[in-house]
Amino acid sequence: MNFEERDTYGMYKDTDEQGPGPRLMGAETLIGNDVYNQNNEDLGDIKEIMLDMTNGQVSYAVLSFGGFLGMGERLFAVPWNALKLDTENKRFVLNIDKERLENAPGFDKDHWPDMADQAWKDQIDSFYQTSYETRPPMSQQGRQGQQPYKNM
């Protein structure tokens, strides 16, 4: 199922704004979305969205990979900025080979890591070659001519 099929409230309107898909999306509508790689291989689906409550940004999408009917599946916290929304195919794309993902730092559904631990974050950023610090601060994320949201 993709984000448009899960839009039960009719909140994803076609707009003239640039960018891949709607500017704002409900996190729940992303749960279950497929993730493919650049070779069009199915890598799994998104099981959870992890928010950083200190800055209001999405930090990770938890990707389910492998297993059958939930048995033997592994979970991977993929940095949000490593995923790209493919609106044409209505899925996410992660630029990683399937074999490399099999060796990614992962966890099982009953043993989640401490995602606030800096050493764990560094390991994830190193593996996916991302950096949390490379994301623009929220004050710089507004579109041209728009004021970013500010806490009153």
Which tens digit of pLDDT belongs to each residue from 67-82? 666 567 899 999 999 9
Helices assigned H by DSSP within 12-150: 27-30, 98-102, 118-128
Neighbour-count burial for 86-107, b at 16+ CB within 10 Å, e otherwise: beeeebbbbebeeeebeebebe
Is 112 among the domain residues? yes
Is 117 among the domain residues? yes
Mean of pLDDT values over 146-152: 44
Name the least confident of 8-12, 19-23, 39-43.
8-12
The confidence score (pLDDT) of residue 61 equals 96
Strands 42-52 and 57-65: antiparallel
Q: How many domains does the chain have?
A: 1
Q: For residue 66, what are the domain limits? A: 27-133
pTM as predicted? 0.74
Is 148 among the domain residues? no
| Angstrom distances, CA of residue 127 to CA of 69, 96, 101 | 27, 10, 10
Is 152 among the domain residues? no
Is 78 among the domain residues? yes
| Tens of pLDDT, residues 112-139 | 999 989 999 999 999 999 986 554 444 4
> The CATH number of the domain where 36 resides is what?
2.30.30.240
